[in-house]
Amino acid sequence: MMAESDEIQSILGLDVSCDTVTLFDSCTRRCLTIANEADALRAALEPYQGSATLAVCEATGGHEDTVLGVLLELAIQAHRADPAKVKAYIKSFGKRAKNDAIDARWLSRYGRDRAAMLLRWQPTAPTQQKLELLVARRLDLVAMRVQEQNRLKAPRSSLIADNIRAHLCELERHIEALNAEIDTLISESRDLELRAKSLRSVPGIGPVLVPLLLAVMPELGTLNRRQVASLAGVAPHPKDSGKASWHRSTTGGRRQIRPALFIAVSPPAVAIVRSPQPIRRCSRPQNQSASRSPPSCARSSPSQTPGSETPCSSKMN
């Protein structure tokens, strides 16, 4: 949801930390520090209820949830800014000083200059929010499992090795429990189940990638292919200047997606997707003679010899 900049009378810059919120009012030039608690924030923000006010805060990994909830309750427009964009905005002025009050002023100025372009924050649906939390926690546990598996390669002590194995077993149990909870949540939600069904129809997308895409990229289905590629961090952005044209690298996007997509487009999956023949014909029948030419998916690989066989599995991820 967008709003015209001339509709906004005051901009509130809210610098959020774990314990406090520093508020700067662009009209009164007043700056105050409030406890990051619902009652304290409600008392401080109630005077702005019903006024043409825009509040701007940064995404802080969850510390901003309380203030956004209070702003929604008081019907005050809010924008949750990308910290990288705010940092680049401040850097463009050549300023280096930083503290909570200064950051709140910069957030207010950022909102004033870009009010007409800033998307207004809207809460996600409860089911979608729960899915995002479950998937985020699963990613955390998987990362811990990888760390422990790496440590187990050189534990340097049998006691440490036993401790790591016990921790790995515990992590596996938690991951399996989260997988079951995620599957149940998707199956019980009509919207999520319909979107999951569409994703499963794509070769290479399996039970791990489906909930990840549903949680991390809920915009799928509303964007064009170029926007989706950029959001996923797989778009080769141009880097040209005059007659020079440098290598186009894939940067940016949402960091959780690229590793999962890398696994989904493993060589067998790529061969199936690129094959000119239907997927069901990519596997050699068991009774087919070995003297016959290999399937097209095997011929598409330049590293295969004419007589070699590379059966493609239709089971992905």
Average pLDDT of span 153-170: 96
- pTM for the whole structure: 0.76
Count structural domains, the chain. 3
Residue 176 included in any domain: yes
Q: Please, which residues bridge with residue 10 across strands?
A: 53
Shared domain check, 216 and 184: yes
Residue 268 has pLDDT above 60, yes or no: no
Binning pLDDT at 50, 70 and 90, where does residue 302 land? Answer: very low
CATH number at residue 12: 3.30.420.40
Whether residue 120 is predicted with pLDDT greater than 50 in this model: the reply is yes
Q: Is the pLDDT assigned to residue 12 strictly greater than 70?
A: yes
- Give yes or no for residue 273 having a pLDDT over 90: no
pLDDT (tens digit per residue) in 180-224? 999 999 999 999 999 999 999 988 888 999 999 999 999 988 999
pLDDT, residue 263, reads: 77
- Last residue of a domain, which of 175, 203, 221? 221
Residues 173 and 141 in one domain: yes
* Angle between helix 190-200 and helix 158-188 axes, rounded to 10 deg: 110
User: How many C-beta neighbours within 10 Å does residue 142 have?
Assistant: 15
Structural domain including 299 reads 275-317
**DSSP per position, the chain:** ----GGG--EEEEEEE-SSEEEEEETTT--EEEEESSHHHHHHHHGGGTTSSEEEEEE--SSTTHHHHHHHHHTT-EEEEE-HHHHHHHHHTTT-----HHHHHHHHHHHHHHHTTTPPPP-PPPHHHHHHHHHHHHHHHHHHHHHHHHHHHTS-SSHHHHHHHHHHHHHHHHHHHHHHHHHHHHHHH-HHHHHHHHHHHTSTT--TTHHHHHHHH-TTTTTS-HHHHHHHHT--B---EETTEE----B--S-TTHHHHHHHHT-HHHHHHHH-SS-GGGSSPPTTS-TTSPPPHHHHT-TTS-TT---PPPS---
Please state, for a pLDDT cut of 70, what percent of the chain lies above it. 81
Shared domain check, 131 and 106 = no
Residues 6+ apart with CB under 8 A from 124: 132, 218
Determine, yes or no, domain membership for 228: no
pLDDT band at 270 (very low <50, low <70, confident <90, very high): low
How far apart CA 161 and CA 19 sit, in angstroms, is 39
